[in-house]
Amino acid sequence: MAENRHKSLGLSDDEVLDMFRTMLLARKIDERMWLLNRAGKIPFVISCQGQEAAQVGASYALDRQKDYALPYYRDMGVVLAFGMTAKDLMLSGFAKAEDPNSGGRQMPGHFGQKKNRIVTGSSPVTTQVPHAVGIALAGKMENKDFVSFVTFGEGSSNQGDFHEGANFAGVHKLPVIFMVENNKYAISVPVSKQLACEKVSDRAIGYGMPGHTVDGNDPLAVYEVVKEAAERGRSGKGPTLIEAVSYRLTPHSSDDDDRTYRERGEVDEAKKKDSILTFAQYLREQGVLTEDKEEELNKELDQIVNEATDYAENAVYAEAESALNFVYEE
Amino acid sequence: MAVISYIQAVTQALKEEMQRDEKVFVLGEDVGKRGGVFRATDGLYEEFGEARVLDTPLAESAIAGVGIGAAMYGLRPVAEMQFADFIMPAVNQIISEAAKTRYRSNNDWSVPMTIRAPYGGGVHGALYHSQSVEAVFANQPGLKIVMPSTPYDVKGLLKASIRDNDPVLFFEHKRAYRLIKGEVPDEDYTLPIGKADIKREGTDITVITYGLCVHFALQAAEKLAEEGIDAHILDLRTVYPLDKEAIIEAAAKTGKVLLVTEDNKEGGIISEVSAIISENCLFDLDAPVKRLAGPDIPSMPYAPTMEKYFMMNPDKVEKAMRDLAEF
Ligand SMILES: Cc1ncc(C[n+]2csc(CCOP(=O)(O)OP(=O)(O)O)c2C)c(N)n1
Ligand SMILES: [Mg+2]
C-alpha cells in the first residue's frame, strides 16, 4: 500500500474525502456549464478544469471561517470551499437575479460573496492583488489574525499590480498568500513567452518573501505549503508566494479554440495527471474511497448539479430597470 | 470663526476625522514623517503614528488598490496622490475597481475611500505638475469628484468625502494651498457633495466655474461691477455628478452664460455643463453659451511665456465676461 500522506499532514480520512468531494463538485458543475453553453443556454463558460486540486488543497489549508479569499475567474474550487453553493454558481451561469456574486450583472467566474468573505472581482486581470494586500493591512491595523488569500494566473503575474502589491505586502510584512495557478498558458501564449525567469516563484525574492513551486495536481502538496504560509502570515512574518503548476485542460473559455495553438498530444498527456483521477486513485489506495462511497458520491453530486441547474434555469432575471440601481449608496 | 489657508483646511479636516473615527487613516508617498511634499498631512504622523499615517512604496496603483482593499474590509482610507498628474498609473484601480465595486457586486461590497490629489497650474510645474485631470474620471458613474475653491468648502467637503460610503476623488488646487485664505467655523461641519454654491449673486451674466477659477471670476466681477455689469457666479464644487438643478437655475437667471475652466477646452467638465444648459434652457438664453478654457495642447509648458499663455487668470476671465455682457 502506498504511503499515507494525509495523516502526516494532520488531515483525517473524512477531511481528505471532503476535499475530494469539493474538487469533484467543481468539476461536475464546470462540465455541466459547458454542456449548457454548447446547448445555447448560457452564453459563456470559463473553466476550473485541471486546477481543482490547487484550489481546494489551498482553501482547506486556510481558516474558512475568518480568512479572506480573492479568487480569479477559474477558482470554482476556492469559492465552493469558502461556502458558495452549486445553486449560487448556476444562478451566476444563467445570469439570474438571485446570483449572489452580482445579481446577473457580471459574467460567470466573477466571484464575490461578502458573507463568505469572497471579495468581488472584475475582468481586468490582477487588480485583486492590491485589494488582498489592503485587506491584510486592515486586518493588521485592527489586530486581527486572518490571512488574505489571492490567486491569479501565471500570465497575470506580469501585471504591475502583482509586483506593486507583492512589494507592498513584503515591505509591511502583511499576512497575504499570493498563489499563482500556473496552467502553462495565458489564452494561447505559453509560459516560455511570459516569464523571463524560470519559475514564477523566482519573483518572490524581489519582494522579500519566500517563494515555493509545488505540484498543482497534488492537493496535499498544495495544502502543505499553504498551511505553512498561513501560519507564517498569522504569526506576523509576512507574505508568501506560491506557484501551483498544473495544466489547463479546456480551451481558455467557451469562446476559444485551443486546437489552433497546442497539440492534442500535449493535452492528452496532461489528462493522465488530472487530479480528479490521481487523487481518487490515492484515496482508493488508502481505503478512504471505496467503490460504494464513490458511487454514492457521484450520485449525490449529480443530483446537486441537476437541482442547481433546474433551479437556476427557472429562476427570474433581474428587472431591466434595476440596471440603474446601486451605482452609489441608496 | 478662524481665518485659515486652503491647505490648513485640508490638514484640519484630516486631523479631525482621524480623531473622530479610528477607521480613518492616511496613505501615500511622503505623507508620514515629511508630512507630505505640500505639507497637507503636517503633524498627523506625530499625532496618530506611522500605522495610521502610512508611507507607502512609490507605486500609485498599489496606493489606490491597497486603499480599495482596506475600504472593502471596512476602513476609511484617505489616499494621497502626490500630484494629480501621477494618478495615471492608478487609473485602472480607480475606474475598473473603485467605481464599479458596489455596482458589480449588486450592493454587496463598497469602497468608502477618498483619494486626494493636488492639481492645477500657475506654479511653474510644467507638463507633469500642472494638469487638471478631472475630465478623465468625469464619465465614470460610481465615482464622485469634488473640487473646492475656498477653505470653508475644502474642510466641509473633505469631511463629507471621508464619511461618504462611495469613492470620492478630491482635487485640491495646489496654487490655492497658500494663496487662498478664508473663514472656517470652529465647530464640526460638513457640506453636501453634489451641490453647487452661489458665490456671488448677480443679474446680468452668469459665470459657472470651479476650483481656483472661482477666485478669478470673483475678482473680475468686482471690476466689472464698477462698469455696471453685475455677475452671478456659480461654483460647481462637485464636478461629477453635476448639480443640474443649480446649473439650470443659474443659467436661466441671466440668460447669458460663461463657463470657465483651466483644463483644456474640448471634452471637459464645462462641455457637459454646456450640454445641460442647451438641453434645458433654450428659451431662457439671450446669447450663445461661451466657454473659456485652456488651449487644446497636451499640458502646460514650463517657460513663463507659454505657461502664462495656457493658464487662466482674472484678466482673461474679465475680458470674456465683458464680451458676453455686451453681446
Ligand atoms: C488587463 C487584462 N488584459 C487582458 C485580458 C484578457 N485576458 C483574459 S484572461 C487572459 C489570459 C490570462 O492568463 P493567465 O494569467 O495565465 O490565467 P489563466 O487564464 O491561464 O488561468 C487574457 C489575456 C484581461 N482580462 N485583462
Ligand atoms: Mg495561465
- Cβ–Cβ < 8 Å for B1, B185: yes
Closest by CA to A176, choosing from A216, A128, A229, is A229
CA A152 to centroid of chain Cα atoms: 9
Cis peptide leading into residue B241 (ω within 30°): yes
Residue A230 CB less than 6 A away from ligand 1: no
- Cβ–Cβ < 8 Å for B307, B283: no
Query: Alpha-carbon distance B322 to A169, whole Å?
Result: 57
User: B314-325 and B213-226 are packed helices; what angle lies between their axes, rounded to 10 degrees?
Assistant: 50
Is A6 labeled as catalytic in the residue annotation? no
Q: Could you please report the per-residue DSSP string of A83-104?
A: T--HHHHHHHHTT-TT-TTTTT
Any A CB within 8 A of B310 CB: no
Give the per-residue pLDDT at A166.
98
Give the per-residue pLDDT at A64.
98
Residue A123 CB less than 6 A away from ligand 1: yes
Give the per-residue pLDDT at A183.
98
Which residue shows C-alpha cell 481656483? B212
- Beta partners for B169? B115, B145
Digit-coded pLDDT (tens) for A195-212: 999 999 999 999 999 999
Closest by CA to B210, choosing from B251, B170, B151, B269, is B269
Cβ of B61 within 8 Å of Cβ of A106? The answer is no
Please report residues of B whose CB lies closer than 8 A to that of A168: 56-57, 59, 62, 66
Q: Which of A51, A76, A156 to mutate to test the pocket of ligand 1 (most atoms within 8 A of CB)?
A: A156
Give the gyration radius of chain B's Cα atoms.
19
Digit-coded pLDDT (tens) for A272-303: 999 999 999 999 999 999 999 999 999 999 99
Q: Could you please report the per-residue DSSP string of B218-254?
A: HHHHHHHHHTT--EEEEE-SEEES--HHHHHHHHHHH
Closest by CA to B316, choosing from B225, B220, B210, B195, is B220
Residue A184 CB less than 6 A away from ligand 1: no
Grid coordinates belonging to A323: 440596471
Residue A125 CB less than 6 A away from ligand 1: yes
pTM of this structure: 0.97
Take atom 1 of ligand 1 and give the residue whose Cα is closest. Answer: A124
- Cβ–Cβ < 8 Å for A68, A113: no
In chain B, the residue whose alpha carbon lies closest to the alpha carbon of A167 is B57
Please report residues of B whose CB lies closer than 8 A to that of A132: 69
User: Of the residues A172, A261, A262, A311, which is catalytic?
Assistant: A261
Long-range contacts of A162-165, Cβ-Cβ distance < 8 Å, separation of 24 or more: A162/A126, A162/A129, A163/A203, A163/A206, A163/A207, A164/A129, A164/A130, A164/B57, A164/B59, A164/B61, A164/B62, A164/B65, A165/A129, A165/A130, A165/A132, A165/A133, A165/B62, A165/B65, A165/B66
Closest by CA to B4, choosing from B177, B196, B187, is B177
Closest by CA to A154, choosing from A124, A180, A136, is A180
Q: How far is B158 from chain A (nearest CA, A)?
A: 18
Which residue shows C-alpha cell 515629511? B34
For B101, which of A99, A120, A124 is closest by C-beta distance?
A120
Q: What is the ipTM of this complex?
A: 0.96
- Cβ–Cβ < 8 Å for B217, B186: no
Indicate the residue type of B166. Answer: D
Q: Residue A253 Cα, ligand 2 centroid: separation in angstroms?
A: 12
Any idea what DSSP says for residue A316?
Answer: P
pLDDT higher than threshold 90 for residue B61: yes
Give the per-residue pLDDT at A178.
98
Take atom 26 of ligand 1 and give the residue whose Cα is closest. Answer: A124
Element (H, E) at B145: strand B144-146
Mean pLDDT over A91-119 rounds to 98
Query: Alpha-carbon distance B84 to B35, whole Å?
Result: 17
pLDDT higher than threshold 80 for residue B245: yes
Cα dihedral sign, B240-B241-B246-B251:
positive
Any idea what DSSP says for residue A6?
Answer: H
- Alpha-helical runs (H) found in A123-249: 128-141, 160-171, 219-234
- Beta partners for A27? none
Q: How far is A264 from chain B (nearest CA, A)?
A: 37
**pLDDT > 90 in chain B, percent:** 100
Closest by CA to B154, choosing from B260, B31, B7, is B7
Residue A57 CB less than 6 A away from ligand 1: no
User: How many helices (DSSP H) and strands (DSSP E) are in chain A?
Assistant: 11, 7
Is A261 labeled as catalytic in the residue annotation? yes
Q: How far is B47 from chain A (nearest CA, A)?
A: 16
Query: Alpha-carbon distance B173 to B170, whole Å?
Result: 10
pLDDT higher than threshold 70 for residue B153: yes
- Cβ–Cβ < 8 Å for B57, A167: yes
Give the per-residue pLDDT at A38.
97
Give the per-residue pLDDT at B238.
98
Residues 6+ apart with CB under 8 A from A134: B65, B66, B67, B68, B69, B70, B71, B72, B73, B77
Please report residues of B whose CB lies closer than 8 A to that of A138: 69-70, 73-75
pLDDT higher than threshold 90 for residue A1: no
Collapsing DSSP to helix, strand or coil, A152 comes out as strand
- Beta partners for B235? B197, B209
Grid coordinates belonging to B102: 458596489
Task: Please count the CA atoms within 13 angstroms of the CA of B25 that sit on its side-chain side.
Answer: 27
Digit-coded pLDDT (tens) for A52-68: 999 999 999 999 999 99
Cβ of A133 within 8 Å of Cβ of B66? The answer is yes
- What is the overall mean pLDDT for chain B? 98
Query: Alpha-carbon distance B243 to B19, whole Å?
Result: 31
Residue A25 CB less than 6 A away from ligand 1: no
Residues 6+ apart with CB under 8 A from B253: B203, B206, B232
Is A172 labeled as catalytic in the residue annotation? no
Element (H, E) at B3: strand B2-5
pLDDT higher than threshold 90 for residue B41: yes
Please report residues of B whose CB lies closer than 8 A to that of A329: 102, 110, 164-166
Digit-coded pLDDT (tens) for B196-230: 999 999 999 999 999 999 999 999 999 999 999 99
Ligand lying nearest the CA atom of residue A151: 1
Mean pLDDT over B235-255 rounds to 98
CA A112 to centroid of chain Cα atoms: 13
For B165, which of A134, A160, A329 is closest by C-beta distance?
A329
Give the per-residue pLDDT at A2.
77
Which B residues 77-106 touch A at CB under 8 Å?
77, 89, 92-93, 96-97, 100-106
Residues 6+ apart with CB under 8 A from A303: none
Any idea what DSSP says for residue A319?
Answer: P
Measured torsion, CA atoms of residues A114, A115, A116, A119, in degrees rounded to the nearest 10: 0
Q: Residue B23 Cα, ligand 2 centroid: separation in angstroms?
A: 38
Cβ of B59 within 8 Å of Cβ of A164? The answer is yes
Q: How far is A326 from chain B (nearest CA, A)?
A: 5
Cα dihedral sign, A70-A71-A72-A73:
negative
Interface test with B, best of A66, A129, A135 (most B CBs within 10 A): A135
Query: Alpha-carbon distance B221 to B203, whole Å?
Result: 12
Grid coordinates belonging to B297: 495642447
- Cβ–Cβ < 8 Å for B147, B210: yes
